[in-house]
Amino acid sequence: MKLLIKNGTLVDPVCGLGGVMDILVEDGTITVIGNNLEDSEAQVLDATGLHISAGLIDMHVHLRDPGLTYKEDILTGSAAAARGGVTSIACMPNTKPVADSPEVIQYILDKAKENCGVRVLPIGALSVGQKGETLTDAKALREAGVVAISDDGVPVQNANLMRDALLRANRSKLTVLSHCEDDDMVRGRSVNEGRVSRQLGLPGRPAIAEELMAMRDAMLAEETRTAVHICHVSTANTVNIIRQFKRKGVKITCETCPQYFTLTHEEILRQGTLAKVNPPLRATKDKEGILAGLKDGTIDCIVTDHAPHSAEEKAKPLTEAPAGMVGLETSLALALTYLYHTGEMSLNDIIQKMTINPAKILGVRMGTLSLGAPADFTLFDLNERWIVDPEQFASKARNTPFTGMELQGKVKYTIVGGKIIYKD
């Protein structure tokens, strides 16, 4: 099968490709990039006026499958990803049962074959049952198809267990993804510690709870000479810690999410549980620190931490409702609106954090427009304005604080392996 994409503006921070060009795809891979290409056997897609990047890779997604499929499942989560221009999703292991065995990983991979075509990359649990007591068999999980290990959602409190996990993961050539929070400091606390928590009369989740664990894991990465990736960075000081260790040559990478460079904890006062996430939305100084980390390269990736919940769950009181928001269908548009159209970052830098950087961290051969690479593409109109309407989402969930917001930049086509899986 052949596909010829004509007259699109290429965005590829890896190969430095730019300008209006054509791309010929054959048997799921990129075969020719040039001008005025013709092929009578190919399906033609006119991309005039659109930008083309490698397919977006979201390395932090909760698909809730198996066991929690009333919130989301692999099929609906994949459809949501396709609408957002995301061609590959790495799914977290906090399912029921936990994805801590080859059998659960095989279930995920088998069900992913039924979806719209989005690539599903399982992440295995770091500890059995995510209980933080016994390490999983990293080698067996690797052979089953995981791309990383993590207990995300359940911070690893035992430093010795984390150290052993890093050493084992290194032998299996897996990256450890770390949810950095001191559980004793945050358990039962719903919002950031600060003015908003005081106004609501609630105990807050202090920023230091994240920063202490980020420092611990950075030190462990240095001592073990093993790669560690810090999930959903939310504070300015965490950025500073990671920046310092990167300068020393430590194998440490990190990610943040659109909510942390677009919103502050003030949003809790306006939207309640829809703005409740974990880690929580922080103060303005933290939002500014996240932006600085994105701009100077300290923060490697922009991910969603897509966390679907039912309307009934989010309707509970603030202290009882689960934390999390959906993000697959808005992530690129939020990045374009708040980072590109504001002049804070170049388009190349944004796309790099959403394609090749996560690909490198996960060790997958994607994220570039180079010849021979998988024909995964995101085609988007850089300037089209649209209003976020959760009722139009492909996800089962509607828990977003961005409802009614006008965004600038819209996905028009998503292509995986040379096959169009979404068209606006």
Name the residues annotated as catalytic.
305
> Of 331, 401, 363, whose CA–CA distance to 176 is shortest?
363
Tokens of 236: 């300015």
> Of 120, 134, 107, 137, whose CA–CA distance to 76 is shortest?
120
Q: How many CA atoms lie within 13 A of 132 on its CB side?
A: 13
Residues 6+ apart with CB under 8 A from 34: 21, 22
Widest pairwise Cα distance in the chain: 68
C-alpha–C-alpha distance, residues 396 and 308, integer Å: 8
Is the Cβ–Cβ distance between 23 and 39 less than 8 Å?
A: no
- φ and ψ of 233, to 5 deg: -65, 130
C-alpha–C-alpha distance, residues 360 and 424, integer Å: 29
Residues 6+ apart with CB under 8 A from 227: 169, 170, 175, 176, 221, 251, 252, 253, 361
> Of 405, 403, 415, whose CA–CA distance to 379 is shortest?
415
Q: How far out from the chain centre does Cα 31 lie?
A: 28
Neighbours of 10 (CB within 10 A): 22
- φ and ψ of 409, to 5 deg: 125, 120
Is the Cβ–Cβ distance between 289 and 265 less than 8 Å?
A: no
C-alpha–C-alpha distance, residues 305 and 231, integer Å: 9
Which residues are bridge partners to 33 per DSSP?
A: 23
